[in-house]
Chains A and B, each alone.
Chain A
Amino acid sequence: MIPTQGELLMPPEARRAFRGAAVAYAFAISTFVLLAVFIVIRQTRPFNLEAVLPYREDILNGFGRTIWVSVISLIGSTSLGFFFYLMSASRVRYFRAFTDVFTEIIYGTPLLVMIMIMAFVIGPAFGSTNRAVMGYVGLIVYITPYMTNIFKSAIASIGAEQYMAMDLFGFTPYQRYRYIIIPQVVRILMPPLMNNFSLIIKGSALLNVLSYRELFYEVTLMTNNNFRFVEGFLLMWGLYLLITIPLSQVTKWIDRRWGI
């Protein structure tokens, strides 16, 4: 009598539209692949990916460090961002003003400048000359206000009328958070959180200026030795896209599947 979720998922007209979109995407992706091939054969030197092979271990290690620093920064900036959210929602006016001023400063600062300032100015002032760590901190601090923002909008999206309904039915505070507020906040939070993760991954390339041996640094090091710029940079580009594109696809999927 009552249809299951699966039966309701895809009516025939939706399936047709889906197939149409799949074909369009196949053509669009092919266009970019062809463009890449064209660019490669236009190079004066023959394309030889094997030249990269001797450096594969260094490059893979760099790739690993890029992911590592990004994950650390994600965790750090999410935690700090949540803390700043609590401050911005505080009754103490100073805390609210503090987060506003902090946000303005960060929004007005290029990430590269933030990283340099952290490593060469702020770090030493607090007795740290470990530039890699200060690089992490710079990245974390830079992303924090973006995280604060997504917490703000996710929590604000639960409107007063829902609290009225919770009052009416007499949900306990624990039940409100467990069954109504947190499940919604998590769903609203996931897509922008993943977007910020992508922002972090891309931003982490700048850590090479501190001689932090992440992907960009390792690839540049190789190209300085063997002059295989085309192979090296294309490989690097591909590796970044290898993380960021699946990430954005997963984000879209999450939003479709669980979005509200």
Chain B
Amino acid sequence: MKIELNNLYHRYDVDVLRELTFTLEGYKSVAIIGVSGSGKSTLLRILSGLETPTGGTVSVNDHDVTAPAYRKSVGFVFQSHNLFPHLTLLENITLVLEKTRGRSKKEARDQACRFLTMLHLGDQVHKLPRNVSGGQAQRAAIARALSVDPEVIFLDEPTSALDPVLTYEVLSAIKELRELGMEFVLVSHVMSFVKEFADYVVFMHDGEIGEHGPPSILDNPQTQAMQDFMAKVP
């Protein structure tokens, strides 16, 4: 995957991202880490096309992230599952595939069942989100993100709402998907997983990119900010 940031600048009421210029190429799974409010989630949302930056240009795999077509080529998993509550887990996926990707009913159903089964939800497909656990709903959301055959999948702290067992299950599913050749950008607080999963790590601090490099930088932080961060996370 190739990510290019050119003078990326974003603000809501305050500066969230300040003049980021950064290029990254040839990595398959990138982890963005940092404390809350460091701008990591905003960066992820801009990379996925969910949010339009205030200034600067951003491209992922040579696609301009502000182009409307780009959004259809990405998968995004939110912190909370964001499933449509009136639809079953299966319908949450088939609706997306039938209406926005033009698949037939049968194709959509087969595809949905395939991904739900992959995420260990084969026996839950007809349940509404309110009738499954938060962890199951989150896995269904991952299945939904995968089902659109995305070029890159963005995950915004996908396990922050899960218990350790489900976290493990979800993270191992993500690892399996990586083996299949999928590309990920992930915001996570689970450092053990970041070390094992990511082949590139970006540490955000106060709206800027602090340190970046292979996962080994986690063991040997150079800046004070990253040393503080690593001392606080488990």
> Could you tell me which A residues sit within 8 Å of B by CB distance?
1-5, 8, 161-162, 164-165, 167-171, 175, 179-180, 183-184, 187, 258, 260
Contact = CB atoms under 8 A, between A and B. Distances in A.
A4 B126 contact: yes
Nearest to A159: B82
Nearest to B148: A169
A3 B123 contact: yes
7 contacts: A5-B126, A161-B80, A167-B50, A169-B148, A170-B68, A170-B100, A184-B84
Interface string B87-101: 000000001100110
A181 to B, nearest CB: 10
B76 interface: yes
Given A165-B78, A170-B68, A180-B86, 14 more contacts: A161-B80, A162-B84, A164-B50, A165-B82, A167-B71, A168-B74, A170-B72, A170-B100, A179-B99, A183-B86, A184-B84, A184-B86, A260-B86, A260-B128
A183 B148 CA distance: 23
B50 A168 contact: yes
B125 interface: yes
B33 interface: no
Contact of A8 (B72, B74, B85, B126): B126
Contacts of B127: 8
B185 interface: no
B82 A169 contact: no
Given A2-B126, A8-B126, A170 B80 contact: no
Contact of B82 (A8, A164, A179): A164
A90 B83 CA distance: 29
B66 to A, nearest CB: 13
B100 A2 contact: no
A178 to B, nearest CB: 9
Closest 6 CB pairs of A and B: A260-B85, A165-B82, A161-B82, A260-B86, A184-B86, A169-B96
Contacts of A183: 86
B130 A260 contact: yes
Interface string B6-45: 0000000000000000000000000000000000000000
Contacts of B123: 2-3
A184 B130 CA distance: 14
A118 B73 CA distance: 60
B122 interface: yes
A208 B53 CA distance: 64
A187 B86 contact: yes
B194 interface: no
B45 to A, nearest CB: 9
B86 A175 contact: no
Contacts of A162: 82, 84
* Residue of B100, B123, B148 ringed by the most chain A CB atoms within 10 A: B100
A165 B84 CA distance: 9
Given A4-B126, A5-B126, A180 B50 contact: no
B113 interface: yes
Contacts of A170: 68, 71-72, 100
A1 B122 CA distance: 8
Given A2-B123, A4-B126, A260-B86, A168 B71 contact: yes
B126 A175 contact: no
Contacts of A179: 95, 99
Nearest to B98: A179
A258 B125 CA distance: 17
A4 B126 CA distance: 7
A5 B126 CA distance: 6
A175 B99 CA distance: 8
B72 to A, nearest CB: 5
Interface in B38-78: 48, 50, 68, 71-72, 74, 76, 78
A168 B126 contact: no
A15 B108 CA distance: 34
A179 B99 CA distance: 9
A8 B88 CA distance: 13
Contacts of B96: 169
Contacts of A167: 50, 71
Given A161-B80, A165-B78, A168-B50, A2 B86 contact: no
A260 B91 CA distance: 14
Nearest to A168: B76
Contacts of B68: 170
